[in-house]
Amino acid sequence: MQESRFFNLSTISEMRKIVFIALSILITPAWLCGQSVISSKHNLSASGPGTVKATSESEICIFCHTPHASRPVAPLWNRDDPGSTYTLYSSSTLEAVPGQPDGSAILCLSCHDGTIALGNVVSRTTDIDFSGGITTMPAGPKNLTTDLSDDHPVSFSYTSAVASADGQLKDPAAIGMPVQLENGKVQCVSCHDPHNDIYGKFLVATKQYSDLCFKCHDRNYWASSSHNLSGATWNNSGTNPWQHIEVPYATVAENACENCHDPHNSGGKPRLLKAGPEENNCLDCHNGNVAATDIETEILKTYNHNVYNYNNIHDPTEAPLASTMHVECQDCHNPHAVNNATANAPNANGFLTGVMGIDQGGNSVTTVAYEYELCYRCHADSPSKPASVINRQIEQNNVRLEFDLGNPSYHPVEGAGANNNVPSLIAPLTESSVIYCTDCHASDGAAPAGPHGSIYPQILKYRYETADFTPESATNYELCYNCHDRNSILNDESFADHDRHIRREDTPCSVCHDAHGISNSQGNTTNNTHLINFDLNVVSPDNMGRLRFEDRGTFRGRCYLTCHGERHNPESY
């Protein structure tokens, strides 16, 4: 009997192989079995689905591969090395050392740097023609140019030492499929599979919730961060915060890293921020169009922490003590860590998680425990700290020294106050209460918490008039009366002449009281209790050259001075 040419033993063996391969494909994850390049934009033949394609060339693989005379041999590459010198990514936070592109990166760039015609292949003596007169990669996000400083770095060795020095990268041994290192290096193919486009942009894993990013990156605090958990969506007003994303997801949590970062063609090159001006990476969401609170409007108020005044001065690696005056959102908030956890004074709340500061002893801290430690970065020992606004008898604009618990008097920011008898306090405040800096310095009215901007000087939360001859009212001294009962003050419960000075003489609170405190290196418990530190624009020495207050016990004292033409030499209370 004649043996069938279809079912001989050899054919049966081959069929078994085919069945085995088919079964393997059925149980293999999508990232291993892949998607045919035929249906992707990397099909540059005339049958390709994209707008960038050949006019008549029918071969598909030819644009990248050739079976003969390839360069390099693997992976049978059919294109010339661009021969370009590239501008590389650089950042103060980068521990790795990127080199000129090599490996798969230089192969990808033979199209994606826009220097060589797409139809220029080794196996053809003339270029393959492209429709629409296209030669090189058209300008746009796919054309990376030879400036790679705005792109995720490639061609660097990803080692355990690099991961350890960075502190927020996974050890290379912990990186699993589908992300792969090429000969120990991060290359284009670590994130992109040129034959498989099931996730878009030929990515090897989904961008949703930044799954791909977290294959390598391991950001501190991220798990509990609001930016990781927020279900907020864009309301389609103002600037689209996700316009840099080709196909954005609906929520902040889903867009994750790409809320602020752009791995290619970033506007802010160091750290691959989507926009160059730092604040633009925050305020296109924090303007009420994504986040519930409108921070942008607060910053535009007359008195503010003006983030628009500075650009590219803040650096994540800078010292906690600010040596050069600047303020950016990232100086006070860590976008990878910020959350909605509440706290009681003086403890830092969730909005301040993961930011550095200066403690009460003047020492640097990498993560603030108390809110005032953040304020001390700029308002304490910094050589460029803001100047005092009132001409005091004792001058001091280092707030860390003003709030020191060893002072003769101070507002209770670091701890409970020195005075154990303050009858004017409004419940639930007591003599043992501690307050925040932001109880006084914050956005006015019902605006978001924090000192973003105010209609009042010094970014005060409430009105606080300091000009002499200001008529007393609940409005003019709202800042004081928010904690100190107005009736108690005007009824002279703690000082026998409060009413006379404030209401009848129109003398502001600030003429006698220094709201922060008096440093123990300059003042003492005889002359500077009760925040007494005179405004020299209003108060002058008496006829004998004396200018002082003397504490004589509970609710008792005397003054030697001249005020409003009246000499106190002394005036006792």
Concatenating the DSSP letter of every residue in 397-421 gives: --HHHHS-TTSSEE-SSSSS-S-S-
User: Rounded to 10 degrees, what is the CA torsion of 530, 398, 480, 435?
Assistant: -90
The alpha-helical segments, DSSP class H, found in 313-354 are 329-332
Confidence of residue 10 (pLDDT cuts 50, 70, 90): very low
- % of the chain beyond a pLDDT of 90: 91
Q: CB–CB of 385/327 below 8 Å?
A: no
Q: Please give the mean pLDDT across all residues of the chain.
A: 93
Q: What is the mean predicted confidence (pLDDT) over 483-506?
A: 97
> CB–CB of 379/386 below 8 Å?
yes
pLDDT value for 420: 95
CA dist 467 and 511 (Å) reads: 9
Task: Provide the token pair at 321.
Answer: 């003590």
High-pLDDT (> 70) share of the chain, %: 94
Integer distance in angstroms from the first to the last C-alpha of the chain? 131
Which of 4-18, 278-292, 508-522 is the least confident region? 4-18
**What is the phi/psi pair of residue 379, to 5°?**
-105, 15
Question: What pLDDT was estimated at residue 72?
Answer: 83
pLDDT score for 34: 52
Between 25 and 516, whose confidence is greater? 516
Per-residue b or e along 473-501, where b marks 16 or more CB atoms closer than 10 Å to that residue's CB: eeebbbbbbbbbbbebbeeeebbeebeeb
* Structure confidence at residue 74 (pLDDT): 84
**141-189 pLDDT, tens digit each:** 999 999 999 999 999 999 999 999 999 999 999 998 999 999 999 999 9
Give one DSSP letter per residue of 485-506, joined into a string: -HHHHHTTSSSTTHHIIIIIS-
Whether pLDDT at 16 is above 60? no
DSSP string computed for 245-314: SSS--SBHHHHGGGGTB-SSS-SBTGGGBSSSSTTHHHHTTTBTTSSSSBHHHHHTSSEE--GGG--S--
Taking the C-alpha atoms of residue 26 and residue 33, their distance in angstroms, rounded to an integer, is 9
pLDDT on residue 71? 83
* Tokens read off for 230: 């927020």
For 446-459, the pLDDT digits (tens) are 778 899 999 999 99
Between β-strands 557-563 and 539-540, what pairing exists: parallel, antiparallel or unpaired? antiparallel
Tell me what pLDDT residue 358 has: 98
8 A C-beta contact, residue 455 and residue 444: yes
Q: What is the pLDDT of residues 62-86, one digit of tens each?
A: 999 999 989 888 899 999 999 999 9
Residue-wise pLDDT for 466-478, tens only, equals: 999 999 999 999 9
Is 567 in a helix, a strand, or coil? strand
Asked if the model's pLDDT at residue 208 lies above 80, the reply is yes
Express the helix, strand and coil content of the chain in percent, nearest 5 each. Answer: 25, 10, 65
Of 217 and 34, more confident: 217
3-state secondary structure of 333: coil
Tokens of 451: 């000192």
Task: Report residue 484's pLDDT band, with 50, 70 and 90 as the boundaries.
Answer: very high
Q: Which of 60, 270, 291, 284 is nearest to 151 (CA)?
A: 270
Q: Per this entry, what is the length of the chain?
A: 573
Asked whether residue 441 carries a pLDDT value surpassing 80, the answer given is yes
Give pTM, 2 decimals. 0.90
Distance (Å, rounded) from C-alpha 134 to C-alpha 302?
52
**pLDDT over 70 (residue 126):** yes
Note the pLDDT of residue 29.
44
Specify the 3-state DSSP secondary structure of 332.
helix
Q: How many CA atoms lie less than 13 Å away from 309 in the CB half-sphere?
A: 9
β-bridge partners, 453: 304
What's the distance, CA 144 to chain centroid? 26
Instruction: Give the pLDDT mean for 339-361.
Output: 98
The first and second tokens of residue 252, run together, are 């902040």
Q: Report the alpha-carbon distance of residue 333 to residue 351 in Å, rounded.
A: 6
Report phi then psi at 365, rounded to 5: -125, 140
Identify the pLDDT of residue 485.
Answer: 98
H-helix segments, 119-251: 160-166, 188-191, 226-229
pLDDT of residue 31: 42
Q: What is the pLDDT of residues 519-541, one digit of tens each?
A: 999 999 999 999 999 999 999 99
The answer, yes or no, to whether residue 33 has pLDDT greater than 90, is no
Q: pLDDT tier at 36 (50, 70, 90 boundaries)?
A: confident
